[in-house]
A and B are shown apart, each in its own frame.
Chain A
Amino acid sequence: MREALTRNRAWIGYVALAIGLALLPFLVDAGMGRTWVRLLDFALLYVMLALGLNIVVGNAGLLDLGYVAFYALGAYVYAWLASPHFGLHLPFWVVLPLGAALAGAFGAILGAPTLRLRGDYLAIVTLGFGEIIRIFMNNLNAPVNITNGPQGINLIDPVSVGGVSLSQMHTVSGLSFSGAHQYYYLFLLLTLAVIFISMRLENSRIGRAWVAIREDEIAAAAMGINTRNLKLLAFAMGATFGGLAGGLFASFQGFISPESFNLMESIMILCMIVLGGMGHIPGVIFGAVVLTLLPEALRYTGDVQRSLLGQIVIDPADLRMLLFGVALVVVMLYRPAGLIPSARRRRELEASGAILDQEQASLADELK
C-alpha cells in the first residue's frame, strides 16, 4: 500500500518534471527573451559534456584536463561531413553517431599512453593532448585544407528531421518554435539519454570497478579487475559523450573554429563537476547548469552599474572571473564534496564530523 503510494508519488513527480521541462523554453522565452533559450540549449550541451567527463574524473578518478579535445573532434567530424567545406551533406543521424564513435576511439587511443600515469602527471599529459588537438585544428589548413585553420568552418548544416530543418522557425497549431526551441527538445532528449546511461553504468559491475580503481588501483587489480581495459573504457565512454556534444554544438552554431576548444573550456567543465559534486550525477547536472547560466547572468551587472553609478566601474567580464574564483574557493572550503555531494561523500563527511565531535569530547574529558 505504502509502496504503491510512494511509487505513485514518484510518477507524479516525473510527470510534473516532464511538463516543466517541456514548457521551460516557452516560459524562458516569454520571461527573459530568446537569448536565454539559446543559453538553455548550451546548458544542456554542458550537462552532456560534464557527465562524460564525470565518468573519467568522478568515477574512474583519472584527472583529464584535455577533455575538450573530444568535444572538438565531434564538432569537426560533424563540420567535415555536413557542410560546404568538403561539399558533403550527410544526414545528422549518420554524422552524430560517427562523430561520437570516432571521439570514443580517440579517447581510448589517447588514453592508452597515459595508463601508467597518475594524478599530476596524468593531468599534465592529458592537458598536452588537449592542446595538441586544438593546435592541429588550427594548422591543418595547409598543404591540404582539412580544418580551414583559424578561420574555422562555416555554414554547417543544421540538424534536419524528415526535411524539416531545426534552425528555421516553425509554427505548429499557433505555437511558434524558433531554432533555439527546437534544438532544446533535441538536446533535452539526448541529455536524458546520457543521464540514463550514466546512471545505469554507475550502479553496475563496471561502475563499481571504476570506483575501485579510483580508490586503490593495486587492490582493484588484485581483485581481478583488468585495470587497463577498464580505464580505457572510461576514457572511451567519456569521450563518446564529448563527441556527441561536439557534433550537436557544430550543427547548433553553424560555425566552429579552434578557438571554441581551448584549455579554459576543459577547466570550465572540470569546475562544473567539482563544484556540483564529483562522481554524483545530480550534482554534476546542477554544476553544469549553474556554471553555464551564472556567468551570463553576471553580464547584467553592467546594466546595474550603469543605472546606479552612471558608468561601468568593473567590466562584467572581469567580475565574472573574479566571482567565479571566489565561488570556487568558498565551495571548496565549506562544501568540499560539492554543492550536491553524493551519498557516499556525504556519509563520509558526516561520519568524520561525528568522529571529530567524539574526539573533541574525549579531549575535553581529559582536560577536566
Chain B
Amino acid sequence: MSALLSITGVSKAFGGLQALSGITLAVNAGEIFGLIGPNGAGKTTLFNTLTGLYRIDSGEIRLGDARLDTAKPHQVLQRGLARTFQNIRLFAHMTALENVLVGRHARTRSGVLGAVLRTSATRAEEADSRLRAQALLRRVGIGQHAERLAKHLSYGDQRRLEIARALASEPKILALDEPAAGMNPAERTALSELLLQLKADGLTLLLIEHDVKLVMGLCDRLAVLDYGVKIAEGTPDAVCRDPLVIAAYLGDETL
C-alpha cells in the first residue's frame, strides 16, 4: 500500500505551548485512518495544519506529490483534501443543493463573462454540476431535502450535507473532524454505515474522533495523540492494548 497522505516531523507551537511535536504519520490510499486522543491532545491543531488554517513550524505534509503545508485553505481543497468541521459550518441560508454546488467550485471554471453571456461551456458545466450535486445528496441519503435551506435540516442531515458538500470537490482524501459529535446512537450507526460505503467506493478517510467506540469499529488503523506527541499507531486492537494509550485515557495505574 502506498502512502497517500504523509505527515513528516510536523511541529507547531502557540507561544510557549507545544501543540504538536514531531508528528509523523502516513495514511494509505483506500483506508479509514483514525486520529484519537484525549481533550487537548492536538487532534484539531493537526487537522488545522492539514487544511491550511495554521502554518507549521517545521516538518512537511504531502498529499501524493503535492505539498499541503505551504498551501492556503482553498489550495488544500484543490489539491485533493476536503474537510468537514467539528461544529458544522454549512452555508445556512443556501439550500442543500446550493451548498453542494459550492463544493463544485474548485472543479469548475466558468467566470464572470461565461456567467453573463451564458456560454454553452458554462451551461454544460452548470448542468453537470447540478446532476452531480443531486446524485451526491441522494448518495448521503438526503436527496429529498435538496431544496430546503441548510439551517432547516436536522442535525444528522446537516452532518450528511457537509459530507456531500466535501465530496462534491472530488477529493482524494476526506478529512472528518468529529463527525459523530452530538449525534444520538441511531444517527451514529447510520453515519458509520455511510463512511463504510464511501470507503467501499475507494475513498480514503481521515477521521478525528472523540468517541473511541466508533473509531474502533470503523478504522483500519489508528494513531493516538497525547499532549502533542504521537504515542501509538496501529490496528485498533493493538492500539487498545497499548499501555501508553490506556494510561493516557484512564490515567496511570502505577501512580
Closest CB in chain B relative to A171 CB, distance in Å: 37
**A223 interface neighbour in B72, B77, B125, Cβ under 8 Å:** B77
Query: Does B45 lie at the interface of the complex (its beta carbon under 8 Å from any beta carbon of A)?
Result: no
Query: Does A16 lie at the interface of the complex (its beta carbon under 8 Å from any beta carbon of B)?
Result: no
B80-117 CB contact bits vs A (8 Å, 1 = yes)?
00110100011111100010011111111011101110
Closest CB in chain B relative to A255 CB, distance in Å: 34
Number of interface residues, chain B, beta carbon within 8 A = 43
A193-237 CB contact bits vs B (8 Å, 1 = yes)?
000110011001111110110011011111111110000010001
Asked if B115 and A201 sit within 8 Å, CB to CB, the answer is yes
Asked if B111 and A227 sit within 8 Å, CB to CB, the answer is no
Q: Which residues of A contact B151 (CB under 8 A)?
A: 348
Residue of B nearest to A215 (CB): B91
Residue of B nearest to A218 (CB): B89
Interface residues on A, range: 20 to 34
Asked if A345 and B115 sit within 8 Å, CB to CB, the answer is no
Residue of B nearest to A219 (CB): B89
Asked if A222 and B77 sit within 8 Å, CB to CB, the answer is yes
Asked if A204 and B102 sit within 8 Å, CB to CB, the answer is no
Query: Does A347 lie at the interface of the complex (its beta carbon under 8 Å from any beta carbon of B)?
Result: yes
Q: Which residues of A contact B111 (CB under 8 A)?
A: 206
**B94 interface neighbour in A196, A212, A237, A351, Cβ under 8 Å:** A212
The answer for the CA separation of A200 and B125 in the assembled complex, in Å, is 15
The answer for the CA separation of A348 and B148 in the assembled complex, in Å, is 10
Asked if A205 and B94 sit within 8 Å, CB to CB, the answer is no
Asked if B94 and A215 sit within 8 Å, CB to CB, the answer is yes
**A219 interface neighbour in B91, B110, B116, Cβ under 8 Å:** B91
Closest CB in chain A relative to B179 CB, distance in Å: 15
Asked if B93 and A215 sit within 8 Å, CB to CB, the answer is yes
Q: Which residues of A contact B93 (CB under 8 A)?
A: 211, 215, 344-345, 348
With A200-B115, A215-B92, A223-B165 given, is the CB distance from A348 to B149 under 8 Å? yes
List residues 310-363 of chain A with CB under 8 A from any CB of chain B: 344-345, 347-348, 351
**A211 interface neighbour in B78, B89, B91, B118, Cβ under 8 Å:** B91
Task: Give the A-binding residues of B (Cβ under 8 A).
Answer: 51, 53, 72-74, 76-78, 82-83, 85, 89-94, 98, 101-108, 110-112, 114-116, 118, 122, 125-126, 129, 149, 151-152, 165-166, 169
Task: List the 6 closest pairs (A to B, CB-CB), nearest first.
Answer: A224-B106, A204-B115, A224-B77, A215-B91, A219-B89, A221-B73
Pairs A–B under 8 Å by Cβ, sample size 29 = A196-B116, A200-B116, A204-B115, A204-B122, A205-B126, A205-B129, A206-B110, A206-B111, A206-B115, A207-B115, A208-B102, A212-B102, A215-B90, A216-B90, A218-B53, A218-B89, A219-B90, A220-B102, A221-B74, A222-B74, A222-B89, A223-B74, A223-B77, A223-B103, A225-B106, A226-B74, A227-B74, A344-B94, A347-B149
